[in-house]
Structures are given as C-alpha cells and as structure tokens.
Amino acid sequence: LVSDGERQQTTEPDRPGDLLNLIRTGRARTRGELGQVTGLARSTVAQRIDALIDAGLVVEVGGAPSTGGRPPSLLGFNADAGLILAADLGATHSRIAVCNLLAESLAETTAEIDINSGPDVVLAWLEETFDGLLAEIRRSPGEVRGIGIGVPGPVDYAHGVAVNPPIMAGWHMHPIKDRFASRYGAPVLVDNDVNIMALGEYWVMEPKVDDFVFVKVGTGIGSGLILGGVLHRGANGAAGDIGHVRASSDDVVCRCGNNGCLEALAGGAAIAGRLSDSGLEASGSRDVVRLVERGNDLATRSVRDAGRLIGQVLASTVNLLNPSMIMIGGDLARAEQQLLAGIREVVYQRSTTLSTTDLSIIVSSLGDRSGVIGAAAMAIDHIMTPRAVDEALAGAG
C-alpha cells in the first residue's frame, strides 16, 4: 500500500476516449507508445485504435522511424472528423468562426453588432452568419459536432444563460442554447467573454503552465482563472471578477453600485472619461490607445497609473493564487509598454517574494482572436471527454 512521494493524483488513461486524447494532444503517436503510456496490452490497444479509426477520429499518417522490423505507423487525430461553430460576442464587436476539431479556423468573420439589440436579433443574426460561413467552405450543418459561444456578461455555465448582465439588455436568463442545439443537433456551451479568452490562450500555449491568470483590460476589467489546468468558474460562474475589487478609497461610484472599484478607476471607459474631461477626444479604450500611440502625455500617464492600480489588485491575486503566469489582454493591452510597466512595478513590489519567484507577466499572444478560439476550445474539450467519445463510439457501433 506504499507509494513514492511524487506520484501524480490523476487516474491513468485506459479507455478508447483516453487513447484518443493521448493522440490528440501528441502525448503518444504510435500503438507502441500508447501501450507504454497506458500499460494496456498490445491487443487491447490495437482493438481500441481500430474502433477509433473506424469512427474516423484517428488516421494512420505514415511510418515512424523503426528500431528494426516493419516501421510502426504513426497515428494522427483527424481534426476534420467534424466542425465546431464558435462565436465571441462583444458589446459592439463580434467575431464568428467555423473551426475544425483542433480549433483551427476554416472560415471566420467579424461584425459590428450591438449586443443591446437583444437576443432575438443577435442570435438570429448569429445563425445566419454560421450558415453563411458553412456555405462559404461548402460544408454541411450536419457536420457540426459542437458550438461554443462567449457573451460579455456573467453566465451561469451549467444552464448556459446570462445572469443580470449589466450591458446586455434583454438577455437575462434567455435560453441561448436551445436555438442552436435543436438546429444543429450538437451540444452548445456558453460562457462569459473573459473565460473563453483564457481558454483560447491556454489552448495555444506551449508549454502550458497549469496556474495562469488571464486579465482583460478593455472598457471594463475582468479575469479568467486556469488553476491546475482547469478553468475555475466558482459556485455561481462569477469567479474572476476583479473589476469590482476595491482599489482605492476614492469615492468614484461604479456602475455596480459600490465605489472605488478597480474598473471604475482603471477601465478603458474610466480613462477615456477622464481624458475627455480634459478636452481630449476619447470615447473608449481604442481612443485611449490611439492617444498613447501618438505620444500624448496625459493619456500615457493615465494608462501607466491604471496599470499601477490593476497591479495592486493583481498583487493580492498573486499572493492568493501563486500563478506561474499573468497574461494581459483586451483593447487597452495594445498600449502594452505603459500598462505592463505599471502592473509589473506594483506586483513585484507588493506580492510576496516566494509567490513571484517564477511569475511572468506578459501580453496576450492571440490579441482579439483569443475569444473565438477559446469558444471553439470549450466546445472541443466538452465533446472530447473520454466518456463522450466512448458513448459516441458505442452509439456508432
């Protein structure tokens, strides 16, 4: 009953769905490697791989270098075995894509649409857009295996509904899933915009870090937490809400009803408001970035100061979660030099020494595509759970 001190707590994979995930993530590339990793008998591996090949999920992609005898065939995940529909719906700006099963975009478009037009208008438009993109690449709605949608407000993930979203008029408790689930006969996953951005960045990250905080600094401020390799949503799907942490004893009133909230002081809307009060032309985050890029002093100082305030809240986050990486995204991240400088200054000063030992603070690698990739990743992770794969195989057999 004894075991060594460093053993992993995870269950070892030994079912067809598990084998598929080993191949999909590149952790095993031949039947022999699958046997080594799982400890399964050669005959068992062969049988399970045959089932995955029959289902079209795994393909033989050529020979691997042999150590003598017939070269073993390389196994590959067939990313074309189905399609994923992905949408990153923003307040005024959306990005929609049709992806393969590796979250690689096959067709993609952006559009200006006001989320406050309400769910009927926006979702009808989204349906048309999905169909248009499918037609563009001559693929059929029947090939859709999963749908991921991000929205700019708090989401009850289990039920796929927005809950009292402050900027999404008419969306409270609207059943977003139903329309798409019945139309495409595939599972629909819905989450807030920041969580899908975190998922998107984690999806492409190489090597992956298990504890990672994604911070979106746009009109508002929010974060998505990847902890132990899994997105942490919390009891009500409200986790990551750093925008309403008290960042100052100032009496600035926030749209949430409290005062001194980080977002009300350091969000893009707040900065633009202050610049506008000083006579500059700024109505949102993008205008702020434009002014910084043109070298405007006041805008530059404002962004730097915002970075310091964000850094103050992130310093507490670092003490609490001890992540390996903080990644900054959102519109204001385009003013990266100033914003990052302010954040780093305060985090490294205010967090404990141990918790910043291996901490890196960087800007988003995907920019405004992180959300749509994350929406696809969310759907793929869902349909690729070992159990879902096994049930699909059983259903097909």
Question: Least distance to a second copy from the beta carbon of 123, Å?
Answer: 17
Please select the residue that binds a second copy; options are 205, 209, 252, 341, rule is CB under 8 A: 209
Selected range binding a second copy among 63-71, 208-216, 285-293, 366-374, rule: CB under 8 A: 208-216
Q: Which is nearer to a second copy, 290 or 350 (CB)?
A: 350
Stretch of residues binding a second copy (CB under 8 A), selected from 42-50, 92-100, 111-119, 312-320: 312-320
Binding mask 167-196 for a second copy (x = CB under 8 A): ----------x---x---xxxxx-------
- Rule CB under 8 A: which of 26-65 touch a second copy? 55, 57
Q: How far is the CB of 172 from a second copy (least distance, A)?
A: 12
Q: Which residue has the tokens 């048309």?
A: 128
Residues of this chain, 257-276, that bind a second copy according to CB under 8 A: 258
Q: For residues 143 and 122, what is the distance between their CA atoms, to the nearest angstrom?
A: 23
* Interacting residue with a second copy among 234, 253, 283, 362 (CB under 8 A): 234
Nearest to 333 by CA among 165, 183, 221, 191: 221
Q: Which residues of 363-378 are buried (b: 16+ CB within 10 A; e: fewer)?
A: ebebebbbbbbbbbbb
Per CB under 8 A, the segment of 87-95, 244-252, 290-298, 369-377 that binds a second copy is 244-252
List, in order, residues 6 or more apart from 279 with CB less than 8 Å away.
Answer: none
Report the DSSP pairing between strands 360-363 and 325-329.
Answer: parallel
Smallest distance from the beta carbon of 347 to a second copy, in angstroms? 12
Contact status: 11 vs a second copy (CB under 8 A): yes
- Give the total residue count for the chain: 397
CA distance between the termini of the chain: 39
Member of 93, 179, 246, 286 binding a second copy (CB under 8 A):
246
Q: What residues between 70 and 89 interact with a second copy by CB under 8 A?
A: 81-82
CA dihedral 19, 21, 26, 28 (to 10 degrees): -10
Q: What's the Rg (C-alpha) of the chain? A: 23
